[in-house]
């Protein structure tokens, strides 16, 4: 986990010894259960770290969570389980309709001794009522559609995190404005130029 430790140190993200150990366990479980549960496609350990773990951490750099987190279409727990490991004191809700993936999330929660993890084995359309400090997803919906889906779940002062390309920025900012959200933070991921992948955090006003 040296790569992760360096990455977090360079970007001002928390990563204590316990988190690094849990990330190691999580990567081990992803690799162990991948084939049987069809979680992430064929990948080796280094690819899982470079393409999945670090990508999930970029999301948090745009908006460091300070309260409950919602991850929609989390699959095997990306980025939500990574965020739960790093921000272990914060409650998280993971929404994933595929039963095997939800079962995997329960196994990870149990084996890593995590608490305050709510696993909702359903579609986001069936979830209602709660609002969150950070509402996030990765590879779930096209970015503009994701802003619309996420908006009802954002607490006052909370944010939607949207992973998109740099070239999407103007269109995303316009749509966010129509939803009463403003761009409050960004973090650069992989790629270059217009193809650069960016995590955008769009914040809701503190008072309605």
Ligand X SMILES: C[S@@+](CC[C@H](N)C(=O)[O-])C[C@H]1O[C@@H](n2cnc3c(N)ncnc32)[C@H](O)[C@@H]1O
Binding annotation for S-adenosyl-L-methionine? 73, 78, 124-125, 138
Of 75, 92, 153, 162, the one binding ligand X by CB under 6 A: 75
Task: Return the beta strands (E) in the chain as ranges.
Answer: 69-72, 92-95, 117-120, 132-136, 154-165, 182-188, 197-203
81 near 55, Cβ under 8 Å?
Answer: no
140 sits near ligand X (criterion: CB under 6 A):
yes
Q: Which is nearer to ligand X, 125 or 128 (CB)?
A: 125
Give yes or no for a cis peptide into 39 (omega within 30° of 0): no
Q: How far is the CB of 50 from ligand X (least distance, A)?
A: 14
Of 54, 72, 92, 150, the one binding ligand X by CB under 6 A: 72
Return d(Cα 150, Cα 136) in angstroms, integer. 8
120 sits near ligand X (criterion: CB under 6 A):
no
Q: How far is the CB of 24 from ligand X (least distance, A)?
A: 19
Mask 95-114, x = binds ligand X (CB under 6 A)?
xxxx--x-------------
Q: Which is nearer to ligand X, 13 or 136 (CB)?
A: 136
Q: Which is nearer to ligand X, 96 or 203 (CB)?
A: 96
Of all residues in the chain, what percent are helix, strand and coil, respectively (each to 5)? 50, 20, 30
Residues 163-182 that bind ligand X (CB under 6 A): none
Q: How far is the CB of 72 from ligand X (least distance, A)?
A: 5
DSSP-assigned beta bridge partners for residue 154: 132
CA 153 to chain centre: 15
Return d(Cα 10, Cα 179) in angstroms, integer. 33
Q: Which is nearer to ligand X, 11 or 98 (CB)?
A: 98
- Give binding residues as ranges: 73, 78, 124-125, 138
Helix (H) or strand (E) holding 59: helix 54-62
| Contacts to ligand X by CB under 6 A | 72-75, 78, 95-98, 101, 123-125, 138-140
């Amino acid at each position: 986990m040296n790569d992760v430790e360096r990455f977090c140190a360079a970007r001002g993200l928390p990563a204590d010894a316990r988190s690094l150990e849990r990330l190691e366990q999580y990567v081990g479980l992803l690799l162990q259960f991948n084939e049987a549960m069809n979680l992430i496609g064929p990948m080796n350990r280094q690819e899982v770290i470079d393409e999945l773990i670090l990508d999930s951490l970029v999301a948090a750099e745009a908006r460091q969570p300070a309260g409950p987190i919602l991850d929609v279409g989390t699959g095997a727990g990306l980025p939500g389980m990574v965020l739960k490991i790093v921000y272990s004191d914060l409650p998280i809700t993971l929404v994933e309709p595929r039963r095997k993936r939800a079962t995997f999330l329960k196994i990870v929660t149990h084996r890593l001794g995590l608490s305050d993890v709510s696993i909702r084995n359903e579609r986001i359309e069936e979830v209602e009522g709660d609002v969150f400090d950070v509402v996030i997803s990765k590879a779930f919906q096209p970015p503009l559609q994701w802003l619309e889906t996420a908006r009802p779940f954002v607490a006052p002062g909370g944010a939607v995190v949207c992973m998109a390309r740099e070239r999407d920025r103007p269109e995303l900012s316009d749509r966010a404005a129509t939803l009463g959200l403003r761009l409050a933070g960004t973090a650069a991921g992989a790629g270059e130029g217009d193809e650069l992948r960016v995590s955008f955090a769009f914040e809701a006003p503190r008072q309605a």
